[in-house]
């Protein structure tokens, strides 16, 4: 009888350990992202799923950015989730967008409207 309880305790402990290990990715910290240059910046605030773009240079040109969404499960596709720009007015512009977990993947991009190189984050997911 004691052996049965010991085995039951060992199995129960192993099951609880596996549950804790498999649940831990859901507890991952928020991952904010920022792309910037001398003309402005674009930031993603992961805790509230808000993207913000700011034109910080009074040079007559704005800044633009967006989010590309790639779905990698089932029927795969890539689409522009949204575009956003700022310039010519006071303050920054914001947009809310629900970034989801795998198999959804995203890349945020930012560019000065006067030319130059487009900046991209690495692909990410919630």
Q: Which residue has the higher pLDDT, 80 or 30?
A: 80
Closest CA to 65 of 113, 104, 106, 105: 113
The count of other CB atoms within 10 Å of the CB of residue 68 is 16
Residue 27: pLDDT above 50? no
**Could you give the strand order of the β-sheet that contains 33-37, starting from the edge strand earlier in sequence?**
33-37, 40-45, 50-55, 93-96
Peptide bond between residue 103 and the one before it cis (omega within 30 degrees of 0): yes
**pLDDT grade, residue 20 (50/70/90)?**
very low
Q: What is the mean pLDDT of residues 96-122?
A: 96
Q: Are 33 and 121 in contact (CB under 8 A)?
A: yes
> Residue 66 belongs to what H/E stretch?
strand 63-71
Q: How confident is the model at residue 3, as a pLDDT?
A: 54
* Closest listed residue to residue 27, CA positions, set 19, 35, 39: 19
Structural domains of the chain, with CATH: 29-120 (2.60.40)
Q: What is the pLDDT of residue 114?
A: 94
CB neighbours (10 Å) of residue 51?
Answer: 22
Q: What percent of the chain has pLDDT over 90?
A: 70
Give the mean pLDDT of the chain: 84
pLDDT of residue 103: 96
Predicted pLDDT of residue 88: 76
Query: pTM to 2 decimals?
Result: 0.75
Q: Rounded distance, CA 14 to CA 36, Å?
A: 47
What pLDDT does 30 receive?
76
Rounded to whole angstroms, the Cα distance separating 120 from 76 reads: 21
- Going by pLDDT thresholds of 50, 70 and 90, the confidence category of residue 2 is low
């Amino acid at each position: 009888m004691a052996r049965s309880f010991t085995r039951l305790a060992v199995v129960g402990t192993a099951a609880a350990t596996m549950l804790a290990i498999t649940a831990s990715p859901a507890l991952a910290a928020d991952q904010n992202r920022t792309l910037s240059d001398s003309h402005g910046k674009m930031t993603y605030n992961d805790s509230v799923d808000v993207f913000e773009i700011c034109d910080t240079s009074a040079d007559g040109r704005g800044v633009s950015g967006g989010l590309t969404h790639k779905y990698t499960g089932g029927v795969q596709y890539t689409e522009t989730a949204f575009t956003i720009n700022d310039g010519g007015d006071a303050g920054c512009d914001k947009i809310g967008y629900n970034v989801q977990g795998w198999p959804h993947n995203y890349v945020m991009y930012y560019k000065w409207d006067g030319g130059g190189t487009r900046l991209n984050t690495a692909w990410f997911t919630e």
